[in-house]
Amino acid sequence: MDLNQLVDLDALLREGSVAGAAQRLHISAPAMSRRLARLRDALGDPLFVLAGRRLEPTPRAIELGQRVHALVDDIRGVLVPPVTDLTQVDRTLTLRANDGFLGAWAARLAERAASQAPGVTLRFLPRAAKDMEALRRGEVDLDLGVLNAPAPEIHSQVLMKTSFVAVVRQDHPLARKRRLAPADLAQWPHVSASRRGRLCGPIDTALKGLGLKRRIVVVVPGFQSALAMAASSELIAAVPRVVVPWNLPPGSVKVFELPFATPEVDISMSWHPRQHADAVHRWLRELVKSTTASFEGRRL
C-alpha cells in the first residue's frame, strides 16, 4: 500500500459512492472503481457493499474510518503551507449555534470577520442536536453552546458562564416589584424554551422544593422566541442572562434575579482535532472568543 490509497479510502468513506469519490478526487468513475478493487485486495476486505445507489461500509471500513480521516487530514496539514494573509482566504466556515447565541453575536461575528478576512463566509446552522457526529464528518467547523458530555477526542473551550434570569415585559404587573418571590413565579404563566420540548427543568425542581409549581402554557424551541413572547405578553420567560441584552431593544423588558439558586451553565465552543492546527480555524476560534468576551458584559 501507499499513501495515495489512504486518500482513496478517505474519499470513499466520506462520499459513500464511487462516483462521489471520483468527483472528489477529480478522476473518472472507472478509475475510482479500479482503486477500490486495489484497496479490497490490499486489505482483504470488501470494504463497501451496494445498498441501492450507495456503498455501505463494512465493519472493517467503519473501524478504519476515523483513523483514516485523521491521517489524511494530518498529511494535508503538513503539505499545505500555513495561511498568513487572511485577506487572501476564500473559504466558507460552518458554525452551529442556537437562536439565543445567533441573536446575541452572529451579526458582530460577521462584521468582524468581514473586516479581517473579507473572503470568508460564515454559515450558521441550527443546533438541532448536540451530538458530535457533524464535527466528525466535517459538516460543522465549530459547535457553539452548552455541552452535555463531549466525546473524548473533541476539543472544547468554555467561552463564558451564565445564570438564568426571569424576564417580563416592561409594563407587566410584576415589573413594579424590586425582586420576585417564588410565589410570583407560581402565580403567573410561563413560556419555556426547550429544544426538545421539555416541560420541566431546574426552576421547576426548585419550586417543587418550596411546595410550589409554575404553569407553563407554551413551549418554544429557542430563547429568542421565548424573549419575544415575554416582551409582548403577560408570560414570564426564564433565559440565560447573557442573551437578554442583545436579543431585545433596551428598556423593552424587566429582568429579575431568580429567587433561588439554579445551576450556572457553561457556553462553550467545540471542534474536531483535524481542525486544531489549521490557521484559519485558529483565527475563527480567536474571533469567537474575543467577540463573546467583548460583549458579554453589556448591562441589562
DSSP letters for 247-277 = HS-TTSEEEEE-SS----EEEEEEE-GGGTT
Band the pLDDT of 187: cuts 50, 70, 90.
very high
For the 164-257 domain, the top CATH level (class) is alpha beta
Query: From CA 278, how far away is CA 47, in angstroms rounded?
Result: 30
Q: Domain ranges for the chain, please list them.
A: 3-79, 86-162+265-295, 164-257
Per residue in 101-140, pLDDT (tens digit) is 888 888 889 999 999 999 999 999 987 666 677 888 888 9
Is domain 3-79 classified as CATH 1.10.10.10? yes
Residue whose C-alpha cell is 472528489: 24
Q: Domain 86-162+265-295, what fold?
A: D-Maltodextrin-Binding Protein; domain 2 (3.40.190)
Q: Check if 86-162+265-295 and 164-257 are the same fold.
A: yes
Read off the pLDDT of residues 15-67 as tens digits, 9 standing for 90 and up: 888 888 888 888 898 999 999 999 999 999 999 888 776 778 899 988 888 78
25 close to 7: Cβ distance less than 8 angstroms: yes
